């Protein structure tokens, strides 16, 4: 039972082989939700700003229409009053200040909320509405200057004292009435017209967060529902770990024609092609290995006959000896390839029977002792005193243990130690093979169970540690075929520990 995988010289501390976790699609769901939230927030803010500005503009347009209407009605009222009454601007005796007739002012007194100023042709104030009279002297003077300074119709906005705030005003000359009349100013505070947009803004500030949160939750749920088929695909793909799982297919909804369905169909087509390729490769390896066994046996028999023939020239013995060694190595390789090919095709059933695995460990220890004696290595065994019964294939477990101990002796320098241990864990039985050899580098540790994997610098067959690169692959298959597992720990320069765990209630089957 020759050993398998070669190990590289130490480089750095290694770690226990751990399979990297499969990336979760939750991150995609989170990214979709964040993107949806950002787009929704921008949309809500943009919609709110546009709606607020639109409502604000409409409110000011309504205010301008109101001022226009009031000024036109005032102008028409003055024109009608002039035609009926004649003179509208009067001067009281002993008072040089002109004023508006008493029978005219009741109409303008009705302007209870808006500001109204009526000027004479000379710019003097003829009338002030009550809201204007309630303002400060500076505000009245400011509005009067605006009314007197306009030579034509003028619409604008100005700010008066804090009591008035921002006001919108309209100034226009009075025509068709008493020629002593000049301009009329009608103004109104914008605060009343800003109430509607501000109320809209307050409503949006209350409703928008509720809408935003509800939409985010809905978007998160929709993203999860949309990615549910992908999650199932990831779970299925995770189970397809090697060429022995390519018979599995992803579920496809025949009624669906969306991206996940097309992805599943494409993946299934790829698996079908891969399965055919692997099957063809396995058949080729099995057929080639089987066909090579007979020629190698004939070659070995012929070389052995020549070696034992006393008439063979001495100078031919060494080349023949080297040829026999290569034939034996090739025979070992063919046997290993045939074993793995049959395992891949499910043609290597286990002959399971109850046996004492402690006895198998002792047998492997004896073989290791014979090999270690020639190499100057100490072998230690730790086995329970009583029998340890387990349902296993005796020959396969013996092959597993011999592969591990042979490897341990091969890579342990003279003066080192090799240990075999057996532990009964109740629900499982553990085999432990440890050595104080050169160890395995951290970068090489994840690959030691791969077929034909050989680490530098002992890759060459002419090295002092030759091998085929299949022993550990066979060891891993034997462990998994019994429903168990194998793991390795190593530290360069400090040795390696292989642990094989076989369950008591396993379902022995060929790994296929």
The answer, yes or no, to whether residue 499 has pLDDT greater than 90, is yes
Q: CB of 251 within 8 A of CB of 229?
A: no
pLDDT at position 196: 62
The answer, yes or no, to whether residue 465 has pLDDT greater than 90, is no
The answer, yes or no, to whether residue 135 has pLDDT greater than 70, is yes
Tokens representing residue 499 in the block: 């642990």
In this prediction, residues 397-405 reach a mean pLDDT of 90
Please identify which residue in the block is written with the tokens 């000011």: 60
pLDDT at position 202: 79
Please identify which residue in the block is written with the tokens 């400060």: 136
Beta-strand runs (E) in 38-151: 89-91, 98-100, 115-120, 125-128
Q: CB of 167 within 8 A of CB of 159?
A: yes
pLDDT at position 462: 41
The answer, yes or no, to whether residue 13 has pLDDT greater than 70, is no
Count of residues in the chain: 512
218 CB-contact burial (10 Å; exposed 0-12 / middle 13-18 / buried 19+):
exposed
- Residue 173 CA to residue 151 CA, distance in Å, equals 7
In this prediction, residues 326-351 reach a mean pLDDT of 70
The DSSP H or E segment spanning 339 is helix 317-344
| Per-residue burial over 348-383, b = 16 or more CB atoms within 10 Å of its CB, e = otherwise | bebebeebebbebbeebbebbbebbeeeebebebeb
pLDDT at position 458: 43
- Most confident option among 11-15, 208-212, 233-237, 331-335: 208-212
Tokens representing residue 171 in the block: 């100034």
- Residue 476 CA to residue 450 CA, distance in Å, equals 9
* Mean pLDDT over each residue of the chain, to the nearest integer: 78
Bridge partners for 496 per DSSP: 435, 490
The answer, yes or no, to whether residue 152 has pLDDT greater than 50, is yes
> DSSP string spanning 351-363?
-EEEEEHHHHHHH
Confidence (pTM): 0.47
284 or 26: which carries more pLDDT confidence? 284
Could you tell me the CA-to-CA distances from 465 to 157, 233, 304, 328 in Å, in that order? 98, 44, 24, 15
- Residue 240 CA to residue 247 CA, distance in Å, equals 9
pLDDT digits (tens, 9 = 90+) for 228-281: 777 777 777 777 766 667 777 777 776 767 777 788 888 888 878 877 777 776
pLDDT at position 4: 36
pLDDT at position 429: 92
Neighbours of 169 (CB within 10 A): 22
> DSSP string spanning 365-420?
HHHHHHHHHHHT-EEEEE--SS--EEEEEHHHHHHHHHHHHHHHHHTS-TT-EEEE
pLDDT digits (tens, 9 = 90+) for 93-132: 655 677 777 778 888 887 777 889 998 888 888 888 888 8
Nearest to 6 by CA among 339, 464, 364: 464
pLDDT digits (tens, 9 = 90+) for 410-431: 888 988 999 999 998 888 999 9
pLDDT at position 459: 38
Q: What is the 3-state secondary structure (H, E, C) of 267-317?
A: HHHHHHHHHHHHHHHHHHHHHHHHHHHHHHHHHHHHHHHHHHCCCCCHHHH
Q: CB of 368 within 8 A of CB of 409?
A: yes
- The DSSP secondary-structure symbol of 23 reads P
């Amino acid at each position: 039972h020759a050993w398998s995988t070669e190990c590289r010289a130490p480089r750095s501390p290694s770690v226990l082989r751990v399979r990297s976790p499969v990336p979760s699609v939750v991150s995609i769901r989170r990214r979709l939700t964040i993107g949806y939230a950002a787009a929704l927030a921008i949309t809500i803010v943009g919609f709110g700003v546009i709606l607020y500005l639109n409502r604000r503009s409409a409110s000011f347009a309504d205010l301008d229409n109101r001022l226009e209407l009031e000024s036109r009605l005032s102008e028409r009222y003055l024109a009608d009053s002039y035609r009926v009454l004649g003179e509208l601007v009067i001067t009281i005796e002993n008072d040089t200040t002109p004023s508006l007739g008493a029978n005219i002012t009741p109409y303008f007194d009705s302007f209870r909320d808006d500001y109204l100023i009526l000027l004479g042709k000379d710019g003097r104030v003829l009338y002030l509405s009550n809201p204007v009279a309630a303002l400060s002297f500076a505000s009245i003077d400011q509005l009067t200057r605006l009314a007197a300074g306009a030579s034509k119709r003028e619409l604008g906005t100005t700010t008066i004292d804090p009591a008035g705030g921002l006001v919108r005003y309209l100034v226009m000359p009075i025509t068709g009435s008493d020629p002593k009349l000049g301009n009329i100013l009608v103004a109104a505070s914008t605060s009343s017209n800003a109430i509607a947009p501000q109320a809209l803004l307050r409503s949006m500030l209350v409703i928008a967060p509720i809408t935003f949160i509800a939409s985010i939750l809905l978007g998160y749920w929709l993203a999860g529902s949309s990615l549910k088929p992908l999650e199932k695909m990831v779970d299925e793909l995770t189970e397809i770990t090697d060429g022995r799982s390519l018979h599995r297919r992803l579920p496809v909804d025949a009624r669906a024609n969306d991206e996940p369905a097309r992805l599943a169909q494409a993946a299934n087509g790829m698996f079908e092609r891969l399965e055919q390729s692997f099957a063809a490769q396995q058949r080729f390896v099995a057929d080639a290995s089987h066909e090579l066994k007979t020629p190698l046996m004939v070659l070995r028999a012929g070389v052995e006959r020549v070696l034992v023939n006393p008439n063979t020239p001495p100078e031919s013995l060494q080349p023949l000896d080297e040829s026999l060694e290569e034939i034996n190595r090739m025979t070992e390789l063919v046997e290993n390839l045939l074993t793995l090919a049959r395992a891949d095709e499910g043609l290597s059933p286990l002959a399971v029977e109850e046996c004492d695995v402690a006895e198998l460990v002792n047998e492997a220890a004896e073989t290791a002792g014979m090999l270690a004696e020639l190499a100057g290595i100490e072998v230690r065994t730790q086995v329970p005193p009583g029998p340890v019964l387990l349902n296993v294939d005796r020959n396969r477990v013996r092959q597993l243990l011999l592969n591990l101990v042979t490897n341990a002796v091969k890579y342990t320098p003279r003066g080192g130690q090799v240990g075999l241990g057996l532990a009964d864990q109740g629900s499982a039985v553990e085999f432990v093979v440890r050595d104080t050899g050169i160890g395995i580098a951290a970068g090489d540790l994840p690959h030691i169970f791969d077929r034909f994997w050989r680490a530098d610098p002992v890759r060459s067959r002419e090295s002092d540690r030759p091998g085929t690169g299949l022993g550990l692959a066979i060891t891993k298959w034997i462990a998994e075929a019994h429903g168990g597992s194998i793991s390795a720990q190593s530290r360069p320069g400090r040795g390696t520990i292989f642990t094989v765990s076989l369950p008591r209630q396993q379902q022995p089957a060929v790994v296929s």
